[in-house]
Amino acid sequence: MDQIIREIAGKLNAINNKRLLLASTLNACNSSGIVSLKENIKPIKLEKELVVVGVDGGFLKKEYHGAGLILRRAVAVCFVFDKDFKLKNTNYFPNRRPFPEPVVTGPELSEQEFNLLAGLKREECELQTALAAIEKFSPDVLVRDGSIILYPGSVVERGSKVHGEYLKVIKLFRELYKKCKEKNILLVGAVEDSRGKRYCGILKNEILPTLYALENVSKEIKNKVEVNKDVLDITTDTLFLYYLLNFGERTAALDYSTTSDLPIIEDLAEFRKNIYVSYIKAAEFDRPLRLDFFAEPENLQETTEKIVSIIFALSNQNRLYSYPSVLIEADARAKLSEEEIEYFKAAISEKLGRNPALFELRRELRPF
């Protein structure tokens, strides 16, 4: 066993060394002006109070023999900062600890469809809360926990029993974009544990070929890149950018529509060209944080700088962990415990008696 562990550790270390060597080589190219891969994040400058709203949701799901139970809630937290970026006031919508809303399904959904529905119901609740919070707080910035588009795993095929719910959620996304555009609100999603590979793909397929073609790049640099570039095929963006970005730096904004072939992009209709991605390093010893945000192409640079400056200031409070403080508070208010779903099940069972629809699945009752 010890030999196996040493072999595994050795393989992981070899892969990590390739990431480090490639990032170091590209950092040297960036410093010498051969390529431009990153920028410093500008310090936040406020001329007036800044109102930031963070929205997060909590949900639980449980399948029974003939029914499915979903619990959901979402909370919007409003932080008001003074011109020195000191927290002045905090408010909540609908309140500090809203009662969870139950959603019950019948046996008509497959396990896959039930899981899709649960995710869509969570998105629906968070988007509705975000739209209501805009009206209540009139924020300058709205930050979602997660992306500002639907995750690929939640995209539903036509003909599915939950396709109608998918269309409702897409409509809410478009409504959120429209509202933020009309009210000049910066809309951004902070992705806590991104496993995206978009940046690595662009680096390998677009930036490195350009680097090879430059006459002022030495043969030594080209060889170092060539030897290590294959690591980009097995690396997520945050793993590689951990080494490429220094504290207080960000990547350029990437256009979501040109770096993704996901069906969700087309479903966003006129807003599909307004979704961008950037990574920031807001903690010295943590991975970069992925930010998905809404911007008009003609104002991309200005919007990117504003968003990364604000989110960096919200996220750099700890050297080991970077995440917007407004979302940390929203998560604390929205998350649900397993006891809460058991409470709802017990309350329903009390009314129904011993009903087979609420029998536990056999795989959860195995005595061995």
Which secondary-structure segment (H or E) carries 252?
none
Over residues 324-350, the pLDDT tens digits come to 999 999 999 999 887 776 766 666 655
Over residues 126-141, the pLDDT tens digits come to 999 999 999 999 999 9
Task: Identify whether the C-beta of residue 231 lies closer than 8 Å to the C-beta of residue 19.
Answer: yes
Angstrom distances, CA of residue 139 to CA of 55, 63, 87, 301: 12, 38, 15, 21
Which secondary-structure segment (H or E) carries 215?
none
Give the residue extent of every domain in the chain: 2-36+199-235, 50-196+245-338
Looking at residue 193, what is its pLDDT? 84
Q: Give the integer Cα–Cα distance in Å for 240 and 156.
A: 31
Looking at residue 347, what is its pLDDT? 63
Q: What confidence category does residue 112 fall into, taking pLDDT thresholds of 50, 70 and 90?
A: confident
Residues in CB range of 204: below 8 A, 6 or more apart: 229, 232, 233
- What would the mean pLDDT of 229-255 be, rounded to a whole number? 94
Average pLDDT, the chain: 88
Which secondary-structure segment (H or E) carries 292?
strand 289-294
Max CA-CA distance within the chain? Answer: 79
Q: Domain 50-196+245-338, CATH 3.30.2170 — does that match?
A: yes
The 8-class DSSP code of residue 183 comes to: T
Task: Identify whether the C-beta of residue 56 lies closer than 8 Å to the C-beta of residue 327.
Answer: yes
From 193-202, 229-238, 276-285, the region with the lowest mean pLDDT:
193-202
Task: Identify whether the C-beta of residue 199 lies closer than 8 Å to the C-beta of residue 279.
Answer: yes
Task: Identify whether the C-beta of residue 244 lies closer than 8 Å to the C-beta of residue 37.
Answer: yes
- What would the mean pLDDT of 138-161 be, rounded to a whole number? 85
Q: Give the integer Cα–Cα distance in Å for 253 and 51.
A: 24
Q: Assess whether pLDDT exceeds 60 at residue 175.
A: yes
Q: Give the integer Cα–Cα distance in Å for 80 and 12.
A: 44
Which percentage of the chain shows pLDDT scores above 90? 57
pTM of the model: 0.90
Residues in CB range of 334: below 8 A, 6 or more apart: 56, 57, 58, 73, 74, 75
Looking at residue 362, what is its pLDDT? 40
Q: Give the integer Cα–Cα distance in Å for 22 and 14.
A: 12
Q: Assess whether pLDDT exceeds 90 at residue 70.
A: no
Residues in CB range of 216: below 8 A, 6 or more apart: 34
Regarding beta strands 141-145 and 186-191, do their DSSP bridges make them parallel or antiparallel, or are they unpaired? parallel
- What would the mean pLDDT of 193-203 be, rounded to a whole number? 89
Q: Give the integer Cα–Cα distance in Å for 140 and 155.
A: 30
Residues in CB range of 220: below 8 A, 6 or more apart: none
Over residues 268-303, the pLDDT tens digits come to 878 988 999 999 999 999 999 999 999 999 999 999
